[in-house]
Amino acid sequence: MPAVGSAAKQGKIRNAQNTVCNVKQILGRSSDDQILQQYMESSPVKMTLQDDEPVFKVEHKGQAKDVPPSKIAEAIYLRMLETARSHGDGDIHDSVLAVPCDFSEDQKQAISESANAAGFSVLRTVSEPVSALLSYDIGQTDNTLECNVLVFRIGNSRAVAGSKFTDSLTDYLATEFYKKYKLDVKESRRSVKKLRLEADNVKHSLSTLGNAQCAVESLFEGVDFHCQVSRARFESLISPVVQLCPSLIDNLCTTADITKSDIQKVVMCGGGTKIPCVQKIITDSLPNAEILNSIPPDEVIAIGAAKQAAILTGSDETDIKVNFEQSEVECLKKSICVKAASESTCQLYPVFPALTPFPCRKHETVTLPSNQTSFKLELCECSNNNSVDADLGKLVMQDLPKSAVVSIVFHLRRDGSLHVTCKEASSEKTVSITVEVQS
Amino acid sequence: MILPEALPEDVTEVTGNLSVPVTIKVEPAGRWYEALCQRRRQRHSISHHSVHSSSSEESEEEVEIDENDEALLLGLDPKEWKKQDHYAVLGLSRLRYKATENQVKKAYKQKVLKHHPDKRKARGVKVKEGEDDYFTCITRAWETLGNPIKKRSFDSVDPLFDDDVPPNNADSKEHFFEEFTPAFERNARWSTKKRVPSLGKPDTNFEDVDNFYSFWYELESWREFSYLDEEEKEKGENREERRWIEKQNKAARQKRKKEEMVRIRQLVDNAYACDPRIQKFLDDEKEKKLSVKRAKQEAARQKVEEEARIKQQALDEERKRKEKEEEEAKAQAAALKKEKDQQKKIFKKERKTLRTAVKDYSYFTDVDDQRVTNMTDVDRLADQLSIIKLQSLNQELTSGDESKAKAAFLREVEELNRLTEEEKKKQMEVIHKQSSGEGSQAKGKLWSEQEIQALIKGVNLFPAGTKDRLMGSDIIKQHITDSNKGAKDVLAKAKDLQKNDFVLKMEADKKAFEKFETQQKSKVTCEAQPKEGVTSERFEKVYEQQIRETGTNPAPWTAEEQKILEQALKTFPASVGDRWEKISETLPTRSKKDCMKRYKELVEIIRAKKAAKDAAAKKK
């Protein structure tokens, strides 16, 4: 059984030629993909193309083996399955995979197949930002809420990445070592990897502590290295990278055609967002936003995926599949409103907002004033703001008893038509209309 | 929301149409998306604000069975609560084992609300006292199904479960999938592993079928039969009784479990026996093996045929070649014959021309003797001249000039004579050469006296017929290092010596003696009078050198040496230790080996004489 996770990371010091990293980047990519080409050039593990598919050439237990990326992903998922089983969840392994939002269908398919091969039952794949939103139940308790939420992720292989923080810290520690002992660590790749691993630990410590001890045994030519790093020093080291965050947010707002003040919530993802200065700089750059980081940032996506799996578990498998495929939904083009008149102005009360998917149903109960014996309900179509685009219909009831209770049901059918029913409770009078959709 | 008052003239009406809807792509995540999909698929819609968007189906399920549960419940006997169908009692006949914990709880609460004795009393319905009321059955059902362990226990012995196994017969084989698929689906619920492979379709591949049967043959069943225990362990009065009850229960459970496994095994065996795909796989395998075998046989047969064909082809080719050669030879012979005939004709013609021409000129002479000679010469010319020369001669003869003709004729004659003479001379040379060659071969390579002596020694040492006869050639090389005689030369010389061996031996012996005498003389001369002006001298005698170098002195024994040896033999009898050493010391010219050898020779000679004497005496 190959080593996975932290054990493999430790082993990378001595065994770089046989330690595969970031296999998720290349899974499902075709052989002429640019990213795959870059990966092959930069990977310490030898790679070749066999039958137009990338293959790692590694040595395991004294034997040379050709391992495709799918097998490595499968090994990772097998270890995850063992972990899940050790927590006593029996034989059920219904899962939802969270994948980067720029994953293609081929990549989603490849990663799903690896997880299925390992023993999981992959119900669905969701995007990582969507997973992050699900973890905080944004939009799940109330479906009328509309807001702009920024999912900020510090992962790997991006402009702002956790590995870049480690790089800066490693460079700093290397210069400290040189000052002390006049020995250049970068002459030995093994020493650099060793130092890098320790720098990673220091980075993790400094997210919660003010100071961290860096201690590496026999770093270079038998010389031990001990050093103390303060958070202030660390923050000054990573400030060039952290300063990129606001500009990234600016670019995103420009692309999405909103302003920074429009962002109402920010979900923090990735271990890198635990760093206090990163949180501070994002808080400063988004004044109106509520920072959501109660859930540990490095677990946010996993929790969201788990919640999605909880929703899907129990449903029929064919239903899950069909639901996944039918993600195109017919919706209302404009809002449907009711003219609710008052003394001075004509106010519009929205019943179905724009982009409400079919079918949909809404139920309202209105109690008329004691002196009112009749009412009229005028339906109209509106675009944004309070302006009527078109009148749709009118329901009128006359000769109603005092303090009449009217039950109104708005039913937006799957064919797009609107059916409205008004019913008075005591007298059981009923009025209904059907508004057809334009052809 | 405030609705304005309607005017009297207002009336309900539709005034417009909705806009054409838009289609957008949404992320397939979250509960609202699932609810939307469910709504789209269902016939009727429910409220948008329902909290149980995902569990709406379950709510509908529970509303059933309200109609006929009164009769069922009233017919229950609290004493026989264990035999009742707990699901039916709680109103979950449709869900049965699929009911979740929450659903069971909800169902029980509904039943309590309707059938609790206090509630019925409030409605004025007659209620039995205490445990006799049918509500006890509801309570028992809840106790059983509300507890997951007990629920599992009850599910194991579900009375509505179809236990039967499709038989192994022709009908099952014919309708295999219709018969066995539901059976396996029914029994799949007993598996501890949730993911159960399905029976599949007729065209399912071998791997899936194999997985299916492997899984079912290795099925781990959670089905247990604790519900059917006759007595509860807790009812035992003392510890021993409790243990006895436990033992009995365990035995009964084991027995039923064993029967269950036998049943499952029977089901899988029957399926395996009736599965048409298994037969097909076996047939395929057999066919494959057969085809491989057949291919092998075919290959072998083809090989044999090929070899035979090649052989036949070779024979054919050989025959054809022979025929062709014969034909060629025939044709060649014919052509040769034709050519020969033609040439003969030409010869004949030319010869006739020659004779005629010479005759015309009356043989170029007036003298009869010369004429006769010329006549014979003409014949000789006619016989021996080549055609070309004949033609040129004829040309000159027929030119018309008598003197020229004569000259040409005489020239040819002279030429002929010269050639004849040359040929004769050559023959003579050849004959002479042959005879001289024999002589030269006999003396081909010059043999020195030493070489001849070595050869004789070798021949004597290894007589004809012995195994190491050819060692004789090596002896010469051993003794005379600069010898150029090979084995062939040695054999030839040996044969020569055999032919005229007496003469040569005598010559050799004589020469040896003369050489010995010369050596002696040289030794004397050297001892007596060293030459003046000679820078290097031999301080070692020849026999000393020979003994030092080879260990023996090959020179023949002289009378003097013989005398000394005989004297020494008498002086040193056989009893003396290292006798031969002392003997060789008295004889400086001979080594120990030589003395021993000489002694043996003498012994042999004496024995021969004695034998001869004895033989002669016997004759007398």
Q: What is the pLDDT of residues A135-171, one digit of tens each?
A: 888 878 877 777 888 888 887 666 677 888 888 888 9
Give the three-state DSSP class for A435: strand
Q: Is the pLDDT of residue B56 over 60?
A: no
Listing DSSP states for A17-77 in one string gives GG----GGGTTT--TT-HHHHHHHHH-SSEEEEETTEEEEEEEETTEEEEE-HHHHHHHHH
Q: B11: nearest CA in chain A?
A: A396
Nearest to A375 among B3, B17, B18 (CB): B3
**Hey, are the CB atoms on A360 and B54 less than 8 Å from each other?**
no
Question: For position B286, what pLDDT does the model report?
Answer: 93
Q: Which residues of B touch A406 (CB under 8 A)?
A: 3
Q: CB of A165 within 8 A of CB of A274?
A: no
Give the three-state DSSP class for A138: coil
Nearest to A368 among B3, B13, B41 (CB): B3
**Hey, are the CB atoms on B6 and A359 less than 8 Å from each other?**
no
Q: Is the pLDDT of residue B199 over 50?
A: yes
Nearest to B34 among A323, A377, A437 (CB): A323
CA distance B126 to chain A (A): 37
Q: Is the pLDDT of residue A124 over 90?
A: no
**Partners of A435 in the beta sheet?**
A418
pLDDT band at B51 (very low <50, low <70, confident <90, very high): very low
Instruction: Give the residue with greater pLDDT, B287 vs A316.
Output: B287
Question: For position B5, what pLDDT does the model report?
Answer: 73
User: Residue B191 gets which letter from DSSP?
Assistant: B
Q: CB of A248 within 8 A of CB of A158?
A: no
* Residue percentage of chain A with pLDDT more than 90: 1
Give the residue from B17, B41, B101 with the most A CB atoms within 10 Å of its CB, the best one to mutate.
B17
Weakest-pLDDT range from A33-37, A334-338, A339-343, B109-113? A339-343
Q: Which residues of A touch B46 (CB under 8 A)?
A: 361
Question: For position B469, what pLDDT does the model report?
Answer: 62
Tell me the mean pLDDT in the region B295-311. Answer: 94
For residue range B398-454, what is the model confidence (pLDDT) as tens digits? 777 777 777 877 888 888 888 888 888 888 888 887 776 555 444 456 677 777 777
**Hey, are the CB atoms on A438 and B36 less than 8 Å from each other?**
no
Q: A434: nearest CA in chain B?
A: B14
For residue range A285-298, what is the model confidence (pLDDT) as tens digits? 888 888 888 888 88
**Hey, are the CB atoms on A329 and B6 less than 8 Å from each other?**
no
For residue range B267-281, what is the model confidence (pLDDT) as tens digits? 889 888 888 888 888
Instruction: Give the residue with greater pLDDT, B39 vs B74.
Output: B39
**Hey, are the CB atoms on B29 and A126 less than 8 Å from each other?**
yes
Nearest to A394 among B1, B15, B36 (CB): B15
Residues B236, B219: Cα–Cα separation, whole Å: 35
pLDDT band at B48 (very low <50, low <70, confident <90, very high): very low
Q: Is the pLDDT of residue B65 over 60?
A: no
Q: A323: nearest CA in chain B?
A: B37
pLDDT band at B45 (very low <50, low <70, confident <90, very high): very low
Residues A247, A250: Cα–Cα separation, whole Å: 5
**Hey, are the CB atoms on B6 and A398 less than 8 Å from each other?**
yes
pLDDT band at B536 (very low <50, low <70, confident <90, very high): low
Question: For position A344, what pLDDT does the model report?
Answer: 56
* Beta carbons within 8 Å of B354's beta carbon, 6+ residues apart: B378, B381, B382, B390, B393, B394, B397
Nearest to A92 among B11, B23, B194 (CB): B194
Q: Is the pLDDT of residue A386 over 70?
A: no
Question: For position A373, what pLDDT does the model report?
Answer: 82
CA distance B45 to chain A (A): 7
**Hey, are the CB atoms on A139 and B24 less than 8 Å from each other?**
no
Residues A383, A334: Cα–Cα separation, whole Å: 5
Nearest to A333 among B4, B7, B20 (CB): B20
Question: For position B290, what pLDDT does the model report?
Answer: 94
Q: A313: nearest CA in chain B?
A: B54
Question: For position A63, what pLDDT does the model report?
Answer: 84
For residue range A49-65, what is the model confidence (pLDDT) as tens digits? 888 888 888 888 888 88
pLDDT band at B473 (very low <50, low <70, confident <90, very high): low
Q: Which residues of A touch B24 (CB under 8 A)?
A: 328-329, 331, 355
Residue B242: left (phi > 0), alpha (psi -120 to 50), or beta?
Answer: alpha
Nearest to B4 among A319, A328, A376 (CB): A376
**Hey, are the CB atoms on A433 and B12 less than 8 Å from each other?**
yes
Tell me the mean pLDDT in the region B235-264. Answer: 87
Interface confidence: ipTM more than 0.90: no
Weakest-pLDDT range from A49-53, B123-127, B240-244, B313-317? B123-127
Q: Is B331 exposed, middle or buried (0-12, 13-18, 19+ CB in 10 A)?
A: exposed
Highest mean pLDDT among A100-114, A385-399, B160-174: A100-114
Give the number of beta-carbon pairs within 8 Å between A and B. 188
Nearest to A333 among B1, B19, B195 (CB): B19
Q: CB of A185 within 8 A of CB of A192?
A: yes
Q: Is A439 exposed, middle or buried (0-12, 13-18, 19+ CB in 10 A)?
A: exposed
Cα radius of gyration (chain B): 69
Q: Which residues of B touch A314 (CB under 8 A)?
A: 54
Angle at A161 between CA A55 and CA A246, to 5 degrees: 145
**Hey, are the CB atoms on B195 and A340 less than 8 Å from each other?**
no
CA distance B208 to chain A (A): 15
